Amino acid sequence: MENVIKEILEAKEMRSKERLKISEGGDISISLSINIPGAPKSDNQIKLFFAECLSDLKRFLLSHRIVIDVKREVVQSDAAGDFYLVPVHSEDIFAEEIKEITELFEMEHSLGRLLDVDITDGNGNPVSSGKAKNCYFCEQHPAVYCMRKQTHDYSEMRSIIEKDVINFLSERRKNRVCKDLSVFALKALLHEVSLSPKPGLVDRFSNGSHSDMDYSTFLNSSAVLSVYFREIADFGFSFSFAHIKDALPKLRQIGLQMEEDMFSETRGVNTHKGAIFLLGFSLFVSANQIKNHNFSYLSFVNQIKELNGSLVENELGKKLYGSKKTHGEECFEKFGAKGKGIRGEIQSGLPCVFNYAIPVLSSHFDLMETETDAAIQEGLTQTLLILIAYNNDSNILYRKGEKVLDELMVVSQQAFNVFGTNTFDAKYKQLIEYCSENQISPGGSADLLAVAYFIYMVNKKYN
């Protein structure tokens, strides 16, 4: 123990010398350290916590227009714990002003009372505001008082800090994960619609087989939906009930709200109903998975199945929506298994996505660090092709019947098979013409493309 104390004192001595060096040049110094009672002063959790707080502090200083001399900053971890020190040129600002601002930082930060931001002026004197910080543990006495009197049990203090730090870090992780997932979902929608040319579908340059919507309609609709992605991800991350199906009513509520907003933005045109359904479930499940573990395709599929068990039977087998049958219901009645559509796909755990789309996405993007527009075009075109080739798109089935759908799938397979050869362009053109002649649009496959790309991005980052 004596040795430890000696090392801590030595480390503190070194810090004073570093501060002195800065003040000898006439500059002010700002330091950050964490108040950890006893020893060791740091571990892996605390290091992560320190790194988060340091980023927060730097952002705070910049937002208050305090310019630190980053070239001379010191970040170190020694017996006294994690430590940061940086000079600020004293001709720019008074040390007392910096003190006021860093006190505000400590006050506003959720664990600010664990943090020590110390200011030393250009003459080497510590700057104090005279305000005593309250004790972290009892919040009643000044911190110095409890420390001197040793009011609190040492191991209790350590365990309170540990718990608070863990909660802080998991809240930060939640924010990061949910932010990432929302970004992936929007990226998926934007890249899907921007992929050009596409057979029968709306793209950058053509409305495909549609007369009621264009590229802008999709951009606007994507913008409206993006507002909800974060909400679904947050819900998925926080969700912990006995059974995952308990999440369905809330998920449906968000989904219905998204549909309403989409229709109001597009003036009644259905741009993304399928995508809302697929991305909604996928966002929820991804967040829920990443909360506890890393992401894996297998557990994603299992959870999607668990969430949507008997969906087809429950929603297509009985009339949910009054006397008028939906397209989905009619299609299921007429074509049976082939007409299960998007509900069938999700109930079976997205087989088209995992058997066909993901392997193609992997082969294009696994080794790629930054994806250029051309690379995305290429990868997504091939993925779309394999989806059209194997997905029983119930939109086409409903509107044009089995023969047209089967032909479309054959033409797509042919194009897929020659991908990357000189005959590809001709085959792809043939597919586009086939869609145009028959006035069909493989919208179901486009939705699957978006959700596959989303799931792929999640896996690439969080597997």
Interface residues with Zn ion (CB under 5 A)?
A: 135, 137-138, 141, 146, 151
Q: Which helix (H) or strand (E) holds 322?
A: none
E strand segments, 233-377: none
| Measured distance CA(214)–CA(204) in Å, rounded | 8
Q: What distances in angstroms separate CA 386 from CA 241, 378, 411, one per listed residue?
A: 37, 13, 11
CB of 258 to Zn ion, least distance (A): 49
- Provide the 3-class DSSP secondary structure of residue 222: helix
Residue nearest to Zn ion (CB): 135
Give the residue among 433, 449, 343, 436 at the shortest CA–CA distance from 389: 449
- Indicate the residue among 150 and 323 with the shorter CB distance to Zn ion: 150
**Alpha carbon 165 to its chain's center:** 22
Give the whole-angstrom CA distance, residue 343 versus residue 352: 12
Report which of 255, 243, 282 is spatially closest to residue 449, judged by C-alpha positions.
282
Least distance in angstroms from the C-beta of 50 to Zn ion: 23
Least spacing, CB of residue 157 vs Zn ion, in Å: 9
Spell out the alpha helix ranges (H) of 65-205: 95-108, 143-149, 154-194
Cβ distance to Zn ion smaller for residue 89 or 133: 133
Query: What is the strand order of the sheet 115-120 is part of?
Result: 74-78, 81-88, 28-34, 115-120
CB of 132 to Zn ion, least distance (A): 12
CA–CA separation, 17 and 47 (whole Å): 23
The H or E element spanning position 335 is: helix 327-335
Contact 100, 44 (CB under 8 A): no
Least separation in angstroms between residue 152's CB and Zn ion is 6
Burial of 440 (0-12, 13-18, 19+ CB in 10 A): buried
How many angstroms separate the CA atoms of 106 and 116, rounded? 8
Minimal distance in Å, beta carbon 137 to Zn ion?
A: 5
Half-sphere exposure of 304 (CA within 13 A, CB side): 28
Closer by beta carbon to Zn ion, 135 or else 446:
135
Using the minimum distance from each CB to Zn ion, give the nearer residue, 79 or 146. 146
Task: Quote the CA–CA distance of 97 and 181 in Å, as a whole number.
Answer: 40
Distance CA 161, CA 39 (A): 13
To the nearest whole angstrom, how small is the minimum distance from the Cβ of residue 453 to Zn ion? 53
Angle at 95 between CA 93 and CA 96, to 5 degrees: 110
When the beta carbons of 135 and 285 are compared against Zn ion, the nearer one is 135
Closer Cβ to Zn ion, 153 or 260, answer by number = 153
Closest distance to Zn ion from the beta carbon of 154 (Å): 13
Give least dist CB 76 to Zn ion, A.
29
- Closest to Zn ion by CB, 142 vs 359, is 142
Residue closer to Zn ion by CB (options 10, 153) is 153
Beta carbon of residue 145, minimum distance to Zn ion (angstroms, whole number): 7
Nearer to Zn ion by Cβ, of 140 and 264: the residue is 140
